[in-house]
Structure 1
Amino acid sequence: MSLPPYARLLGVTLELVDDLPEIVMPFGQHVVGRPGFLQGGAIAGLLEVASVAALRHALAGETARIKPINGTVDFMRGGRDHVTRAAGEITRLGARVATVTAIAWQDDRARPIASARMNYLIERADG
């Protein structure tokens, strides 16, 4: 599965955990906001990459373009200088529109640092 081009700027990698995509972003100068903390845009970008990865995984074998419609990010706590992980869960996958909820966490998945709700337009090749 290929990730969006800006995923490279974030330095993220893709891992399959229980056969579902999980995105891993290392901490470094490229994602620093205030000293010792992640920049909010890097967290939002990570959540979007996780959402797209979840959709690509669900649409495996289909030729489809995924275009963002809108998204909302909720920041719950500051991301510290640790590896950050994110995963998306599809809450609706229709013929033309999909809704994905994504969470980002550091040490404990049950304590997310941010979450997002993203809506995407899906343009399938067959129609």
Structure 2
Amino acid sequence: MVELTYLHAAKESGDYAGIIDQIPYARLLGVVMKEVDGEPLFELPFVDRNIGNTHLPALHGGVIGGFLENAALLHLVWARESAEVPRTIDFSLDFLRSGRAQTLFARCDITKQGKRVANVRMTAWQDDERKPIAVARAHFLLS
């Protein structure tokens, strides 16, 4: 559970590390959350342990998927101003190009939010937001 005091303090200061620390997998991956033009922007700084194919080198697909899922969870917490972290119902991921050994970025869009379920669309890119490396969609159970 994310403390609401963390959320309000994070929105005021722009430092979302306290929220990310309460989601163990987001913390393990090293997810960074920033607010740009009033909307969350997610960043996964490059580290060698995120490489899946050392010959290319390319980011591991599971790292990309985990990053996008956690970005969506954090986006929902941010948008709903809720102390509860939603639970994933389903997650669908399409890889569009190889993720190079560099920082990965993501934005999320809540396409529909009801009382119990939310649908979120996520896009990940590296150099150019118009050239995504992966897109995903997921349904989340809201508390």
Q: Normalization by structure 2: what TM-score?
A: 0.81
Mapping 1:14-93, distance limit 5 Å: 14-35=33-54, 36-60=57-81, 62-93=82-113
| Greater per-residue helix proportion | 2
Secondary structure at the aligned position of 1:80 is classed as: coil
CA-to-aligned-CA distance 1:95-114 (integer Å, 9 cap, x gap): 00000000100000111000
Distance 1:63 1:26, change over 3 A: closer
| Greater per-residue strand proportion | 1
8 Å CA contact 1:53–1:88 kept in 2: the answer is no
Secondary structure at the aligned position of 1:33 is classed as: strand
**Number of aligned residue pairs:** 122
8 Å CA contact 1:20–1:57 kept in 2: the answer is no
Secondary structure at the aligned position of 2:130 is classed as: coil
Q: Which ranges of structure 1 fall in alignment gaps of 5 or more residues? A: none
Query: After TM superposition, what 4+ stretches of structure 1 lie above 2 angstroms from structure 2?
Result: 62-65
RMSD of aligned residue pairs (Cα, Å): 1.2
8 Å CA contact 1:91–1:101 kept in 2: the answer is yes
Mapping 1:7-18, distance limit 5 Å: 7-18=26-37
Q: Normalization by structure 1: what TM-score?
A: 0.90
TM-superposed deviation, 1:29:
1.6
CA distance in 2, matches of 1:68, 1:86: 18
